[in-house]
Amino acid sequence: MSLFSGLSQFGLGKLEKMDVFEEEGQKEGASASDAKKAEPQVKEEDVLFDKTYTCPVCDSEFHTKVVRTGRIKLVSQDTDLRPKYSMVDSLKYDAVVCPKCGYAALSRFFKFMLPAQAKMIKENISANFKGLSDSGNIYTYDDAIARHQLALANTVVKKAKDSEKAYTCLKLAWLCRGKAESLPKETPDYENQIKQLQKEETELLSNAYDGFMSAFSKEDFPMCGMDETTTTYLIADLARRIGKYDESSRWVSKVLTSRSASDRIKDKARDIKEMINQQK
């Protein structure tokens, strides 16, 4: 299964074999249980709303589902900075897709488009795009993964910066992890599905690592909303997750010796260092 295996549903099957990074020539006293019972049951659709976008490729106006950030609470964060929120995995709603022409990108990149990029998208995406299927009131993980695959395909077609391609790969990897975590154990062929999702996650993390490594040496900061120290830390953990332990240790050292790094991120880097020692 390729990184772009879901593109055929959009009429873009010929793009399924693309490489992401090709070489040039990515009440007080109440008990916790009482409080829980008193809380209203909030459903995923209750924290969503329709936001209006104007496509920078075809100029059409459309609506897409967005999470009301004030309604959700950050519960925890994985070592590679994947956020985990209450009630909803907000990551499912980060890819914005134009239903008319097929242009897609992560929300932070959607509005930025050069004329030459729009031309490439029209020729390689829009010309074959069959439209979006109805996703209902919420996006399933499969819906979200397909939309993010389309966003990743667009980054390759429009020759986006390596950092954008890397960040999109990272978001896709997080979705694979989220799907695996939420997959019911009674699902038919559960073990094989988990193995496949873990394989896809690792491949995406590897692409993200390659992309951020390339971007680190030639792009300016902040990068994808991250400063240099945060990006350094992220590269360290991505290297660890894909088994590049020596590289991970090198990037961890950069964080630990940085004068600008906060105590908080240095503590996180020490955690990575300990994990490396255990995994070795």
Tell me what pLDDT residue 2 has. Answer: 72
Tell me what pLDDT residue 21 has. Answer: 80
Tell me what pLDDT residue 112 has. Answer: 95
248 within domain boundaries? yes
Residue finishing a domain among 173, 189, 218: 218
Residue 156 has pLDDT above 50, yes or no: yes
Q: Do the beta carbons of residue 52 and residue 62 sit within 8 Å?
A: yes
16: confidence class by pLDDT, cuts 50, 70, 90:
confident
Q: Assess whether 109 and 171 both reside in one domain.
A: yes
The C-alpha atoms of residue 126 and residue 145 are separated, in whole angstroms, by: 20
Q: Assess whether 173 and 260 both reside in one domain.
A: no
Domains held by the chain: number? 2
Tell me what pLDDT residue 30 has. Answer: 46
The C-alpha atoms of residue 1 and residue 244 are separated, in whole angstroms, by: 23
Tell me what pLDDT residue 84 has. Answer: 97
Q: Assess whether 155 and 190 both reside in one domain.
A: yes
For the residues 138-147, what does the mean pLDDT come to? 96
For the residues 214-227, what does the mean pLDDT come to? 97
Share of the chain above pLDDT 70, in %: 93
Tell me what pLDDT residue 24 has. Answer: 56
21 within domain boundaries? no
- Kindly give the pairing relationship between strand 83-85 and strand 95-97: unpaired
Q: Assess whether 182 and 249 both reside in one domain.
A: no
Name the average pLDDT for the chain: 92
36: confidence class by pLDDT, cuts 50, 70, 90:
very low
Q: What residues make up the domain containing 151? A: 1-14+43-218
Of 112, 51, 50, 81, residue with least CA distance to 237: 81
Q: Assess whether 110 and 171 both reside in one domain.
A: yes
208 within domain boundaries? yes
144 within domain boundaries? yes
Q: Assess whether 48 and 157 both reside in one domain.
A: yes
76 within domain boundaries? yes
Listing DSSP states for 218-267 in one string gives HS-SSBTTB-HHHHHHHHHHHHHHTT-HHHHHHHHHHHHT-SS--HHHHH
Reported as a single tens digit per residue, the pLDDT across 221-276 is 999 999 999 999 999 999 999 999 999 999 999 999 999 999 999 999 999 999 99
Q: Assess whether 67 and 201 both reside in one domain.
A: yes
pTM of the model: 0.87
Reported as a single tens digit per residue, the pLDDT across 45-91 is 999 999 999 999 999 999 999 999 888 999 999 999 999 999 899 99
Q: Assess whether 181 and 47 both reside in one domain.
A: yes
Q: Assess whether 203 and 71 both reside in one domain.
A: yes
Q: Assess whether 139 and 85 both reside in one domain.
A: yes
Tell me what pLDDT residue 27 has. Answer: 40
Residue finishing a domain among 164, 196, 218: 218
169 within domain boundaries? yes
The C-alpha atoms of residue 191 and residue 188 are separated, in whole angstroms, by: 9
For the residues 85-108, what does the mean pLDDT come to? 97
